[in-house]
Amino acid sequence: MTTDKDSRPPRLARVARWTDDRLAASRFVRSALDKIFPDHWSFMLGEIAMYSFVVLLLTGTYLTFFFVPSLRDVVYQGPYAPLRGVHMTEAYKSTIDISFSVRAGLVMRQIHHWAAIVFIGAILVHVCRVFFTGAFRRPRELNWIVGVAMLVLAIVNGFAGYSLPDDLLSGTGLRVAYSIILSVPVVGTWSAFLIFGGAYPASSIISRLFVVHILIVPALIVGLLTAHLAIMWHQKHTQFGGRGRTEDNVVGSPLWPSYAAKSVGLFSITAAVLAALGGLAQVNPIWIYGPYTPAQVSSASQPDWYMGWLDGALRVWPNVEIRLFHHTVGNTFFPGVLLPGITFTLLALWPFLEARFTGDHEPHHLLDRPRDRPFRTAMGVAALTFYVVLFAAAGTDVLAVYLHISENAIIWTFRALALGLPPITAWVAHRLCRELAASKAGKRQPPNIIVRTPDGGYDARPSAPLRTDSGIEPEPTPLSERG
């Protein structure tokens, strides 16, 4: 015979039920698991960035146990023979020890570095996808600004982490950063002293960059990423138009189990690719560059790709200085401070500028095809062309050596390309979009077929509806979520 006590649920179940009665958590979880996500592959670009960031946090935590953020002078006596007896900072020595003396240290270093490269690249591609499809329009302007802020913080943190080993290449980058800060009128000198902790080379910069790199900026990125996902969750996803897709619903796969399985698979692939790169593809071999010495600069010095456009801008900008209100504005101020300021300010304000000039203030949940917005597409192509030219200009010294051409001639060539090529590519993109829109690309009428009539003649009749890879008439997924 069973008693009332035996028929009661287990204690853990009672605790869960008691908690749920007060928090109504099961209702939220049930609703969350039924959340619909679009099936289009381009929506995975943001997830690649997020998963790369997770790998960054994991590998960075491991490296933190062994890195010493100090500029104290020491003599290396480790296993790497070419550097034995060489004076170096503790920061550089600890990084060499991580590479050659710590178990799995080198592969962790390289995975961390590759993850940073992929992280920023995935954010940039994701931003381009959002821009060219118009996913930034009302009501998603705030989330666009959050995304731009994350891109800026990712670049800043990448540069900070890249500078920590205090090798000859990263030290040159810090010297350039110090000069850019000094070029700011009025406050430049004080700002450089505050950031570096004294005149260059200052003894506090590595320890300060270490705190910025492992604590301040990652915390800001985590906060912005949380806000980004929360806003997206509240506003629902955008989607490409098609059969069954409207401004009021989302058609795709539910979070559980379909989308969760895809996400777990994508995370596994991302982590596996980064691990393979870290184990097989050498990156940032600081033992070849040697320790940083202020009096030396290595030839063919280029930073990581996400800083290449800034380096190229510094190289191609003419030697021009101006006097303004009794203050000298150095030539490094324009490409080093003004250009990035204009770039990210215009990028953040683009949703408002487009709405102002087009008069479109309506909410949008369906995405544009780039061909349907010729002006926006042309502006995006022109901007990308401009920064790609600047990125290529970061290698003027390498091109001069391999092509046996004067570096001055190469610099003038890049100056001409930076000014002339963006308008040309913008015109081509605009013309191409107009032609595609005029011909109703992706909405072609099905071809006619010739059939024989009962009286023995011939007649042309339309064939079955044409399916295209543009997704104009896709089959709708049976699951949808109303806004």
Mean pLDDT by 10 residues, the chain (483 residues): 58 75 72 79 91 97 96 94 95 96 96 97 96 95 96 96 93 92 90 89 90 96 95 88 81 84 94 97 94 83 90 92 80 94 97 94 92 95 97 92 91 96 97 87 54 63 45 46 57
Q: What's residue 471's pLDDT?
A: 41
The structural domains of the chain, with segments of one domain joined by +, span 38-297
Residues with Cβ within 8 Å of residue 413, at least 6 apart in sequence:
none
Rounded distance, CA 8 to CA 361, Å?
Answer: 58
Q: What's residue 8's pLDDT?
A: 60
Q: What's residue 474's pLDDT?
A: 44
Q: What's residue 468's pLDDT?
A: 37
Q: What's residue 439's pLDDT?
A: 81
Rounded distance, CA 161 to CA 154, Å?
Answer: 10
Instruction: Domain 38-297: give its CATH superfamily.
Output: Cytochrome Bc1 Complex; Chain C (1.20.810.10)
- Count of other CB atoms within 10 angstroms of residue 345: 11
Rounded distance, CA 139 to CA 317, Å?
Answer: 39
Task: Give the number of residues written for the chain.
Answer: 483
